[in-house]
Amino acid sequence: MNTPEAHIIVRDLTMAYGSYVLQRDLTFTVNRGDVFIIMGGSGCGKSTLMRHLCGLKAPAKGQVFYGSMNFWEAEPDERDRMMRRLGIMYQSGALWSSLTLVENIALPIELYTSLNAGQIREIASLKLALVGLAGFEDYYPSEISGGMKKRAGIARAMALDPEILFFDEPSAGLDPVSARLLDDLILELSESLGTTVVVVTHELSSIFAIGNNSVFIDATEKTMIATGHPRRLLEECGHPTVRNFLTRGEARAELKPGETPVPCFLA
Amino acid sequence: MAQGELQIHKTPDGTLQVALSGEWKLANSLPSPDLVRNEIEASPRISRVSFETGNLTGWDSGLLSFLVKVVGQCSGCDVPMDREGLPSGVNRLLDLATAVPERKGARRGTERAPFLARIGESAVSFWHSVLEMLTFIGETCVAFVRLFTGKSRFRGSDLMLVIQECSAEALPIVSLISLLVGLILAFVGAIQLKLFGAQIFVADLVGIGMTRAMGAIMTGIIMSGRTGASFAATIGTMQVNEEIDALQTTGVSPIDFLVLPRMIALCIIMPLLTVYADFMGIMGGLIVGVFGLDLNIVEYYNETKKAVSLTNFWIGIFSGFVYGILIAISGCMRGMQCGRSASAVGDATTSAVVTGIVSIVVATAIITVICNILGI
């Protein structure tokens, strides 16, 4: 196996809404080809962290690097070019409701390529077929189910063959079988296309099924308390919050009086 | 069904026995927990509180909230409470309600900020909203520059859809309102003009009134309520659905994609609707003139033609154009500023209509003053 190459480097990132600090001093690296999980309890800032990574919200402090490019301190043009290489699937799918599925996927392609309409439609249909939605090209987002919207959202995120795919809560609101199928799809895409995948989730089954690296951010400590492969974290991490999270609270881990929790950063 | 009742006995060994009977449900009026406290406070000899629920026929959260208060009172007075007599379901729920202690600092403070502080906060937030508006207008101007240099993208079909929504579909209500406004102007004018036998000047009054101001203003107000609100609601919902974020991360400027087609549509349509409204208003005046004031149709037509100059007409069209920009700005801006909840969409819509109408009236005043200074 090749030595891992850093794809996204986050350094001392602080996230804040006004004067309210959500998370501070986040430092982690996502390697090329990883399926990287951002996990943590509800309301700890997972989705906000994703917004910082994909260019929707500037950090209060700290840097995000894509390779050697300092994302937030780069020229706006350069940042736009980088953003074009990211694909993002939003929690609700966020398909543009005034466009059909095929138009949703075609829009980014129209913007950044000089293909003709027929070719664009062909590519867009192909992307829909990849996520199992062949035949639904001319449906509007309001006419399909929640799971299908998420799939279509993935197809749109992949429209420009991105280097990095972001998923915000891919399995939220899906039944277990659909959630499993979606996990398989994410894994399949990352393996066959070599795409780096960043998944924001708190769904344990997904975390163990697809993740090969992760960061755990915590709402009470307001910073990250663990990094590493989720399965190894389950075996090795001694931090009670992480243990309880990864075992659905069955570990019943608690601190002895006077003991301070030890963050667990696996290489 | 028997209502919830409460009987309190004191036993000689210092136990306060509380007997609950009947139906303890929220829908019935329930006894106050203060009765128990009064008993405890009245006789300091009481060493514990126990419950008897043999005759209790039914219960819901009403009983629970009563008991939670009693628990609080007992621990306040340091009297142990014996919960054995309570139904086991109630006991479990009570445990659940008291299991997690209240988080410190979680409760919101209820005290209000001092008067001056509140004035200051409103002033600051007003200043912020002015800045936001200026930023939005600036961004829109930049987007127009991009449009003219051919760098901006929106879909022609979106533009056509918006044009259809705000033109043909608005015609019925614009017809009705402007016809009625013409009618009203004519009636109000006729009462005065009849005194001098100068009914024919109703044609002047309605003609100039409609073309110079009222046609454009009424169209503007209708469109603000109709189209401005719809812009705000559409864009606001897109904000809630993360669709705007998705545009941004795809590299499409939401201003180009959503605001430009709406603004261009209104800039084209508002002057046209204004002309139409002028015409309908004059028709309204004509109806009153012919049927109410016994004027001849040709006479009325000639008088209108003599009175309404092209200048009046252009001022009206120009006003309509300006109102179109204002409606599009207020609708789109409130939509883009929308928060991420259903009620935020409602607020955005309300605020779009209010901003639209206020800015139309202010713009009318400014245009009138300028015309006055220029002497036209």
pLDDT for A104-128, tens place per residue?
Answer: 999 888 888 888 889 999 999 999 9
Residue in chain B closest to A53 (alpha carbons) equals: B249
Residue in chain B closest to A79 (alpha carbons) equals: B251
Instruction: Concatenate the DSSP letters of all residues of B287-315 into one string.
Output: HHHHHHS---HHHHHHHHHHH--HHHHHH
Could you tell me if residue A222 is inside a domain? Answer: yes
**What is the C-alpha to C-alpha distance for residues B35 and B37, in angstroms, rounded to an integer?**
5
Cβ atoms of B179 and B284 within 8 Å: the answer is yes
Closest CA to A262 of A229, A231, A221: A221
Domain of A39?
A: 1-82+213-267
pLDDT for A10-63, tens place per residue?
Answer: 999 999 888 888 898 899 999 988 899 999 888 888 889 999 998 888 898 899
Is B109 a residue whose pLDDT tops 70?
Answer: no
Q: Alpha helix (H) ranges present in chain A?
A: 46-53, 76-84, 101-112, 117-130, 146-157, 176-193, 204-210, 230-236, 240-246
Listed in sequence order, the residues at least 6 apart from B368 whose beta carbon sits closer than 8 Å to its beta carbon are B213
Cβ-nearest to A94 among B153, B158, B243 = B243
pLDDT for B134 equals 94
Could you tell me if residue A130 is inside a domain? Answer: no
| Domains by residue range for chain B, with CATH | 5-99 (3.30.750.24), 156-374 (no CATH)
* Interface predicted TM-score (ipTM) of this complex, two decimals: 0.81
Residues pairing with A168 in the sheet: A200
The helix or strand, by DSSP H or E, that contains position B49, with its residue range, turns out to be strand B48-52
**Mean pLDDT across the stretch B271-292?**
94
How many domains, chain A? 1
pLDDT for B9-26, tens place per residue?
Answer: 888 888 888 888 888 888
User: What CATH number does the domain containing A56 carry?
Assistant: 3.40.50
Is B363 a residue whose pLDDT tops 90?
Answer: yes
Nearest-Cα distance to chain A for B372, in Å, is 46
**What is the C-alpha to C-alpha distance for residues B138 and B48, in angstroms, rounded to an integer?**
73
Three-class DSSP category at B32: coil
Q: What is the CA radius of gyration of chain A?
A: 19
Q: Is A83 in contact with B247 (Cβ distance < 8 A)? A: no
Residue in chain A closest to B249 (alpha carbons) equals: A83
Could you tell me if residue A189 is inside a domain? Answer: no
**What is the C-alpha to C-alpha distance for residues B219 and B114, in angstroms, rounded to an integer?**
44
Nearest-Cα distance to chain A for B326, in Å, is 24
Among A50, A53, A56, A169, most B C-beta atoms within 10 A, so best to mutate, is A56
Nearest-Cα distance to chain B for A92, in Å, is 7
**Mean pLDDT across the stretch B226-230?**
95
Cβ-nearest to B243 among A51, A56, A97 = A97
Could you tell me if residue A185 is inside a domain? Answer: no
Could you tell me if residue A262 is inside a domain? Answer: yes
Could you tell me if residue A12 is inside a domain? Answer: yes
Is A267 a residue whose pLDDT tops 80?
Answer: no
Which of A24-33, B88-97, B273-282 bottoms out in mean pLDDT, i.e. has the lowest? B88-97
Assign residue B219 a region: left if phi > 0, alpha if psi is -120 to 50, beta otherwise?
Answer: alpha
Could you tell me if residue A151 is inside a domain? Answer: no
